[in-house]
Structure 1
Amino acid sequence: YLTVWNIVNVLPLKNRLEEGIAAFPEEIPYRLIKLFSHVGETVLDPFMGSGTTNKVAAMLKRNSVGYEIDLELLEVVKEKMGLKQSSLFGKDYEVEIIIRNDARSLRTQLQNRINNQKSVVKNAKRNTK
């Protein structure tokens, strides 16, 4: 029994680091789901991101619920879960996506807010010179 895991190949799907997708290898949720749940049980991922944990849960025949506030990752989740393909793991699971209207573009809104604050700071620095 090891207390430290050696996990390799942590790059996200198709080098998507530049798209803001974390390097989260499937091996981590695979080990934890196998260790702490049984077939048919439900896994909760409160910070779903690109859906890695949900994909692994489906592979291991677990139900899963994932919450993600960044809806701009929705297409990545659909791709990872195989919703754009005819089948994934025999399609023994159902995927339901519920979208809150106030969360449609949080990433873009946050980036715009940051950019606006940066320009305010730049203008303030210019005015103090």
Structure 2
Amino acid sequence: MNERIEAIKAALGKPYYESAETLLYHGDCLELMGRLNEPAFDLTVTSPPYNIGKEYEKVLPLADYVAWCSKWMTRIHELTLKSGSFWLNVGYVSVEDQGKAVPLPYLLWNQSPFFMLQEVVWNYGAGVAARRSFSPRNEKLLWYVRDPAAYYFDLDPVRDPDVKYPNQKKNGKLKCNPLGKNPSDVWQVAKVTSGANRASKERTPHPAQFPTALIERVVKSCSPQGGVVLDPFVGSGTTCVVAKETKRLSVGFDVRSDYLDIAIRRLEASEQKLF
């Protein structure tokens, strides 16, 4: 096991699950992160509860929810390496007497010392149908960095090969990178759907599962191979599965052991697929 992962394990104690690449812990992320004393992570990518009444969350007054997010976001900043990034996926929330579906990024973008580098729009194909508004088909990802002058970023592994004129030249040189084009800040990635006839192949019992393709783009571009990735709300374990399959190490936290059990099954299935 990697030295940095060993140091994290020594600080956090006995994990709920461990392998050579992954540590999973059952518990509150603020309490667990409070045991760590120094920066340890190249990348954090996560999606916290949206405060909308899902089965895995307790709805808080909106001001309390924002204050809670500020606490764990600030702690992530303290544990991020200078070259590191933090990717936050959040949806929408109702604000009494002010808005039906207010994007959470409007409320959270400045709730930590991180530098917010960019907003990425995740456009997905499936969703609820609306009658008195446009049907929602997107969520946001906020990309934060610890140091805007020294963050890790590698575009090549995530270039889009779908180039209209791949062989077009200017002054005898290809105008487009042979690996493909920049995928832009609007990502079209299918949602993990449920239902008897339309469930995604990667679907698990978790009610809010990350698509593997979405997290793979983040992990490949914003962390080096051998780096350590954190997901403090790991849920069904997509972040850890992607980290494993792309030769990164990972640490995940969740307050629900049944979700961790889903993550473990996925990690073990990934192990069989890799070997």
**C-alpha distance in 1 between matches for 2:221 and 2:202:** 28
* Mapped pair 1:89 → 2:89: no
Structure 1 gaps, min length 5:
91-129
More strand by share: 2
Q: Which amino acid aligns with 1:6?
A: Q
CA distance in 2, matches of 1:67, 1:37: 19
Query: How far does the alpha carbon of each residue in 1:75-129 deviate from its partner, in whole angstroms, 9 at most, with x for none?
Result: 211211116x873423xxxxxxxxxxxxxxxxxxxxxxxxxxxxxxxxxxxxxxx
TM-score (ref. length: structure 1): 0.58
What SS is found at the alignment partner of 2:187?
Answer: coil
Q: Residues 13, 51 of structure 1: CA spacing in aligned structure 2 closer, same or farther, 3 A cutoff?
A: farther
Deviation at 1:52, TM superposition (A): 0.4
Provide the residue aligned with 1:4 in structure 2: 186
Higher relative contact order (CA 8 A, sep 6+): 2
CA drift at 1:24: 1.4
Trace 1:1-129 onto structure 2 (pairs within 5 A). Answer: 1=182, 2-11=184-193, 15-16=203-204, 19-82=205-268, 87-90=272-275
Q: Give the SS at the match of 1:55.
A: helix
SS at match of 2:251: strand
Q: Which runs of 5+ in 2 are unaligned?
A: 1-181, 194-199
Residues in 2 aligned to 1:13 and 1:89: alpha-carbon distance in whole angstroms: 18
| Residue 15 of structure 1, CA deviation | 4.6
Does the 8 Å contact 1:81/1:88 carry over to 2? no
TM superposition shift of 1:21 = 2.8
Question: How many positions carry a matched residue from both structures?
Answer: 87
Q: Is the 8 A contact 1:21 1:49 kept in 2?
A: no
Q: Is the 8 A contact 2:209 2:235 kept in 1?
A: no
| CA gap 1:36/1:86 in 2 versus in 1, 3 angstroms | closer
Report the aligned-residue RMSD. 2.3
Structure 2 letter corresponding to 1:61:
K
Amino acid paired to 1:48: V
Paired residue type of 1:23: Q
